[in-house]
Amino acid sequence: MRTLNPNVSVDCLVFGYEAGELKLLLIQRDASRANDRSVLSWTLPGDLIQDDEDLDDAAHRVLQELTTLDRVFLKQFGAFGDPSRVRRPADKIWLEKTRAFPEARVITVAYYALVNVGHFSPSPSNFAVDTQWMSLNEIPDLAFDHNLIVQKGIETLRNEVESSTIAFQLLPEKFTLSQIQELYETILDQPLDKRNFRKKILALDILKPLKEKQKGVSHKPAQLFRLKLFKKN
Amino acid sequence: MRTLNPNVSVDCLVFGYEAGELKLLLIQRDASRANDRSVLSWTLPGDLIQDDEDLDDAAHRVLQELTTLDRVFLKQFGAFGDPSRVRRPADKIWLEKTRAFPEARVITVAYYALVNVGHFSPSPSNFAVDTQWMSLNEIPDLAFDHNLIVQKGIETLRNEVESSTIAFQLLPEKFTLSQIQELYETILDQPLDKRNFRKKILALDILKPLKEKQKGVSHKPAQLFRLKLFKKN
DNA sequence: CCAAAAGTGTTATCCGTACACCCATGC
DNA sequence: GCATGGGTGTACGGATAACACTTTTGG
């Protein structure tokens, strides 16, 4: 039997990249279930875990249920458990209308995901009535302690992109070197030198140049690359 | 009212450094409360959180209650929640004898601490009947999924010592450059060049040479240092 | 005087950084 | 032909890595 654990939830920070901006996928909670307009507020996709489910599995399930996103890269980055995280009246009302134990103290385990906005098309389901990509610098006041979680998640992402290639998951399958550079500049929030950046990325030996080039641009068309599936020896 | 939350625990990895070895503080659970010798097994110090308590506070409290260690440096490094983490018969028996809801599914939030073995003297209390420093390469089979947590904690520590000065917390107040080097060699499990290591550490400008020297050694006595309280400008 | 660890400096190499011009395309 | 972004190489400086001998103490 599957029963929800009243004390443990997972929340997912879903990063996407579009039009030169880092975005976060937020959902709006179901007002009809809560029956009160004031309860309409933006939150991270997240929910209670099942009692018989691993944390990572719970994160995947919840993300799938609320946004239809499936099989995305997800990484745990922290547990949050300030007992006073439920302080807004709207959050309380929402819990009362939707949870079996609205007074239960909940700690949440946070994950971040990196998705290619063009590849996935999230749509609201379950108690999510709307999903929306929001630019990082336009994130509104979120429910519970979700703004804190977002801050910590962005820091974690910044630290991790510098020593791994996870950032490529934000790009379409085929991309140009300038697109990667723009992405890194966006995530790290600093300009990077073009020649040095290219040298460094190519030296990683993880990119395969395609025979294709950019089309329909009014300048020299750029070489397209994709991630190598396997490294050569 | 303080009530234990049946679904969330904290566990602490307490690292100590002694005789050139990294050690971990383990506790042995109370056999009299469990009333069964087979339940005597080594575990990380950890316990359920209180419903009205922050996770970080819970980690400090639990560590204090089980080992008397107080006000130590503690850092969260992950949440573990495999529902099959209670698989050994001994773990089940122990839960049945000690927990109000022995069948409850528990996720645990893990912390690591770095302590100066000479400075703190842990002693067992509460349900801990014994505490012992164990070398990292002699860690026995632990309860629940604690061996997994230990592995992840060691990795985290290795990553973090290279970009911070947390490792100094494992040393006594006064130490020699060779002691620091030996500590880093132990944590990173690799030899380091003496002259280069000294240059690098001294360049950090965080060490204050004392007027004292090592005593009672049958070789040239080494300069003693302590951490600077404040950096000079 | 012997053993043991402390302490010290120079050189070669690698890596990060700074920087400017020509190229291919669409309009 | 002009505007736009694509694409390229080199020189410098700082950091890292390799390396061997003298010093001070206790026994």
Query: Which residues 6+ apart lie within 8 Å of B21 measured at CB?
Result: B135, B136, B186
Residue B144, φ and ψ in degrees, nearest 5: 50, -135
Task: Please name the residue whose C-alpha is nearest to the C1' of nucleotide D23.
Answer: B220
Average pLDDT for residues B37-42, to the nearest whole number? 71
**Interval B33-54 mean pLDDT:** 82
Q: Are B50 and B32 in contact (CB under 8 A)?
A: no
Say whether pLDDT at A31 is over 60.
Answer: no
A33 compared with B210, residue with greater pLDDT: B210
pLDDT of residue B14: 98
Closest CA to A55 of A97, A6, A2, A109: A109
| 3-state class (DSSP) for residue B25 | strand
Give me the amino acid identity at A25.
L
Which neighbouring-strand residues pair with B23? B16, B135
The distance (Å) linking the CA of B68 with the C1' of D24 is 42
Q: How far is CA B38 from CA B23, B101, B190, B224, in A?
A: 25, 21, 39, 48
pLDDT higher than 60, residue B35 = no
pLDDT band per the 50, 70, 90 thresholds, residue A119: confident
Confidence of residue B37 (pLDDT cuts 50, 70, 90): low
Q: Which nucleotides of D are covered by protein (CB under 7 A)?
A: 3-10, 16-20, 23-27
144-173 in chain B: CB under 8 A from chain A: none
Chain A, residues 93-132, CB within 8 A of chain B, namely 105, 107, 109
Q: Does A82 touch chain B (CB under 8 A)?
A: yes
User: What is the distance in angstroms measured between the alpha-carbon CA of B195 and the sugar C1' of D20?
Assistant: 12
More confident residue, A197 or B230: A197
Which residue type does A127 have?
F
The stretch B79-102 carries a mean pLDDT of 89
| pLDDT value for B233 | 45
Selected residue of B48, B54, B112 to mutate for chain A interface (largest A Cβ count, 10 A): B54
Q: How far apart are CA B55 and CA B114, in angstroms?
A: 18
pLDDT in tens, B160-205: 999 999 999 999 999 999 999 999 999 999 999 999 999 999 999 9
Q: Report percent pLDDT > 90 for chain B.
A: 76
Assign 3-state DSSP to chain A and report helix, strand, coil percentages, each to 5.
35, 30, 40
pLDDT of A147-169, one tens digit each?
999 999 999 999 999 999 999 99
Residue B155: what pLDDT? Answer: 96
B52 in contact with A at a CB cutoff of 8 Å?
yes
Query: Chain A residue with minimal CA distance to B75?
Result: A78
Mean pLDDT score, B8-22: 95
Where on strand C do bases come within 7 A of a protein Cβ?
Answer: 3-10, 16-20, 23-27
- What does pLDDT average to over chain A? 91
Phi-psi region of B14 (alpha: psi -120 to 50; beta: other; left: phi over 0): beta
Confidence of residue A180 (pLDDT cuts 50, 70, 90): very high
Q: Is the per-residue pLDDT at A1 higher than 70?
A: no
Average pLDDT over residues A116-137: 86
Residue of A nearest to B7 (CA): A7
pLDDT digits (tens, 9 = 90+) for A46-58: 999 999 999 999 9
Averaged pLDDT, B86-102: 88
Q: Please give the Cα distance from A69 to B15 (Å, whole number).
A: 40
Provide, in whole angstroms, the distance separating residue B201's CA from nucleotide C18's C1'.
29
pTM: 0.93
Average of per-residue pLDDT across A3-19: 95
**Mean pLDDT, rounded, for A39-45:** 85
Half-sphere exposure of A216 (CA within 13 A, CB side): 0
User: Which residues does chain B have within 8 Å of residue A81's beta carbon, measured at their own beta carbons?
Assistant: 8, 49, 54-55, 58, 109
Least confident of A21-35, B42-56, B168-182: A21-35
Q: What is the DSSP letter of A163?
A: T
The minimum CA-CA distance between B168 and chain A, rounded to whole Å, is 23
pLDDT at A124 exceeding the cut of 60: yes
Count of residues in chain A: 233
Residues 6+ apart with CB under 8 A from B116: B16, B17, B169, B170, B171, B172, B173
Query: What percent of chain A clears pLDDT 70, i.e. is strictly above it?
Result: 94
Kindly determine whether the C-beta of residue A196 is less than 7 Å away from any atom of nucleic acid strand D: yes
Question: What was the pLDDT predicted at B85?
Answer: 86
Q: Could you tell me the distance in Å between the CA of residue A218 and the C1' of nucleotide C27? A: 8
Nearest CA among A200, A85, A37 for reference residue B51: A85
Residue B76 distance to chain A (closest CA, Å): 8
pLDDT of residue B169: 95
Least Cα separation, residue B8 to chain A (angstroms) = 7
* Percent of chain A with pLDDT strictly greater than 90: 76
Residue B232 confidence (pLDDT) above 60: no
Protein residues contacting strand C, judged by Cβ under 7 Å: A 193-196, 199-200, 213, 215-221; B 176-178, 194-196, 198-199, 213-214, 217-223
Per-residue pLDDT band for A233 (boundaries 50, 70, 90) equals very low
Higher-confidence residue: A33 or B131?
Answer: B131
Given this model, what pLDDT does residue B129 score? Answer: 82
CA to C1' distance (Å), from B185 to C5: 17
- The torsion defined by the Cα of B46, B52, B53 and B55, in degrees rounded to 10, comes to 70
Give the best residue of B53, B75, B105 to mutate against chain A (max A CB count within 10 A): B105
pLDDT in tens, B135-155: 999 999 999 999 999 999 999
